[in-house]
Amino acid sequence: MPNKLKSCVTLVRRYYNSASDALKVGILGVPFDKGQAKKGVGHGPAAIRKAGLLERLSDIEQKLDIKDYGDVNYEVPQQLKDLDIPNIKSYADIASCNYQVSKKVQEIIESGRICVTLGGDHSLGLGTVDGHIKAKDENLCVLWIDAHPDLNTNKTSTSGNAHGMPSALLAKELSDYWPYLPGMDWQKPVISLRNIAYIGLRSVDSYERLIIDKLGINAFGMEDIEIHGINTIVELALNRIDPVGERSIHVSFDIDSLDSLEAPSTGTSVRGGMTLREGIHLMELIYRTGRLAALDLVEVNPNIGTEQDVNRTTDAAIHIIMAALGHSRRGIRPRNVNTLPLQTFPPTRQVI
Ligand SMILES: NC(=[NH2+])NCCC[C@H](N)C(=O)O
Ligand SMILES: [Mn+2]
Ligand SMILES: [Mn+2]
């Protein structure tokens, strides 16, 4: 069945089931900040919740059955303490936290819920994608929405920050470029870069560019969005990573994919990014596939900028999540009513 037809069938099915069958969602917070140097990104989940995420989700027309799994916590096991891997800062924390994230995400997806993970810095993408891979037997594809491809290894990174490395840790094609990583045996780099597409790129390090070009990775930068428009780019990306339209979809959304004006409170913001409109449209398209299984919303840092900046950023994050879960900008008719309400009191306006 062609992609478009499949999506229609899913939507029609969802519509007729809607009374009994709400869309099942699990919310998971990962207050993790050790994949980069700036304090505050660990408060991202609390800030997004405080901005009213659950209330605003309960308001959308797509019926949702939401379960909040709270925040992930972790301990660094004794044998990993004092362990140093060259040029990966806080390695033991990265390995230990992501192990817990992966287990939780796997559990949430296996229970039939769309897993919405609130970050935290983007190093957690290692755990969320790994959990998804395990839940779906590798039959998934990933959209990495970001100003950065996060494709550095510890040999190519100029910062040593693990939030610039998760996609390289996940990629099958790059497994030979990593040293043995103790404490990461749970993680298998099994996803092929063929099944990942990047959208929104505009800050790509030189070795990341080399990998993208050498391996022919699906990397759509701001220039491509400028030329073709976001609608075409999302369709192109999905056709590349999920040509038959049957895979489970993972969206890893770094808030810095949006322009600094839309999402100022983030650690590595780059000007010239996507508008919130483009971000919302992208997520609406993903919702319509009916195959979204996991969404990460990462890198919101409420310690950066003014109160107004923080509010704008958390609000943008909530808009993205709402669009992913079926909120429509078209407006909805009142439920079970097909006519306008009748006048039931005397008109106050005098007709002369
Ligand atoms: N998830 C992010 N915001 N990543 C930014 C990475 C920046 C830079 N490429 C680095 O490796 O350090
Ligand atoms: Mn980024
Ligand atoms: Mn990122």
The whole-number pLDDT of residue 8 equals: 57
- Which atom of ligand 1 lies at the shortest distance from residue 205's CA? 9
What phi and psi values does residue 229 have, to the nearest 5 degrees?
Answer: 90, 150
The whole-number pLDDT of residue 7 equals: 60
Cα dihedral: 186, 191, 192, 197 (round 10): -130
Under CATH, domain 3-324 is a member of which superfamily?
Ureohydrolase domain (3.40.800.10)
Which single residue is written with the structure tokens 């509010």? 311
What separation in Å is there between the alpha carbon of 19 and the centre of ligand 3?
37
- Give, for 47, the enclosing helix (H) or strand (E): helix 44-50
Of 93, 208, 256, 262, which one is the catalytic site residue?
256
The whole-number pLDDT of residue 13 equals: 52
Q: Is 65 a known active-site residue?
A: no
Nearest CA to ligand 1 atom 7: 164
Domain residue limits, the chain: 3-324
Query: Would you write out the chain's pLDDT as a tens digit for each of its 352 residues?
Result: 555 665 655 555 555 444 457 999 999 999 999 999 999 999 999 999 999 999 999 989 899 999 999 999 999 999 999 999 999 999 999 999 999 999 999 999 999 999 999 999 999 999 999 999 999 998 999 999 999 999 999 999 999 999 999 999 999 999 999 999 999 999 988 899 999 999 999 999 999 999 999 999 999 999 999 999 999 999 999 999 999 999 999 999 999 999 999 999 999 999 999 999 999 999 999 999 999 999 999 999 999 999 999 999 999 999 999 999 999 999 888 888 899 988 877 767 776 6
Q: Is 254 a known active-site residue?
A: yes
Nearest CA to ligand 1 atom 6: 164
Where on the phi/psi map is residue 245: left (φ > 0), alpha (ψ -120 to 50), or beta? left
The whole-number pLDDT of residue 19 equals: 44
ipTM over 0.95: yes
